Amino acid sequence: MELEGKIIQDLGIQEGVSKAGNAWKKQEWVLETFGNYPRKVKFTVFGDRRIEELHIAAGQNVRLSVDLESREFNGRWYTDVNAFACTHLDGTMPSMGMGQSAASASPAMSPFNPAPAAPAAPAAPAFGSDSTDDLPF
């Protein structure tokens, strides 16, 4: 899934060590989508390498490729939005993640940025008009 918008807040880096003794690092941001009804979406990037290669900062206009995942814990559901690639739309810091190139980036379509509407069909002629078809339907 892809989301387009402006990074409005950097929530900082979190670090820790897993039960297996492996170090981990993640960073979170808030993106505000474009359009008539903008939405705010908190997303996460995991791993030192990925955080560095995406070059995400507050104030940038970006297109994110994200994975959505929900999980249940103690009868409650939680949803994670994990970004794995980023295209900078304002030209500030062109960067791609996971081998994606700018030429292969597709326009973002999501519940927040729906596809443009198809052109309207031409109106049917009114009943009794000069058309050769005399059926009213």
Please answer whether residues 87 and 32 qualify as being in contact, where contact means their C-beta atoms are separated by less than 8 angstroms: no
Of residues 99 and 11, more confidence is placed in 11
Fold for 2-101, please state it: OB fold (Dihydrolipoamide Acetyltransferase, E2P) (2.40.50)
Residue 14 tokens, joined:
């979190």
The pTM of the full predicted model, rounded to 2 decimals, is: 0.63
Q: What is the pLDDT of residues 108-130, one digit of tens each?
A: 444 445 555 555 555 555 555 55
Q: What is the pLDDT of residue 96?
A: 40
